[in-house]
Structure 1
Amino acid sequence: MSGNQKNLDNRSDQLNTNNDKFYSSRGMDGRPSDWATSGSTGNPPTQKDLDNRSNQKNPNNPEYDHSRSAGSKK
Structure 2
Amino acid sequence: MSENQKNLDNRADQLNTNNEKYYSSRGMDGRPSDWSTSGSTGNPPTQGDLDNRSNQKNPNNPEYGHSRSAESKK
Please report the TM-score for the alignment, with normalisation by the length of structure 1: 0.57
The yes-or-no answer on 1:36 pairing with 2:36 is: yes
Offset, 1:44: 3.1
Q: Which runs of structure 2 are paired with 1:12-51 in the superposition (5 Å)?
A: 12-44=12-44
Q: Distance in 1 between matches of 2:42 and 2:23?
A: 19
Unmatched 5+ stretches in structure 1: 57-61
The structure whose Rg is larger is: 2
How many residues align? The count is: 64
Percent identity of paired positions between Structure 1 and Structure 2: 80
Q: CA RMSD in A?
A: 3.2
Q: Secondary structure at the match of 1:36?
A: coil
Please report the TM-score for the alignment, with normalisation by the length of structure 2: 0.57
The yes-or-no answer on 1:2 pairing with 2:6 is: no
Q: Which structure shows the higher helix fraction?
A: 1
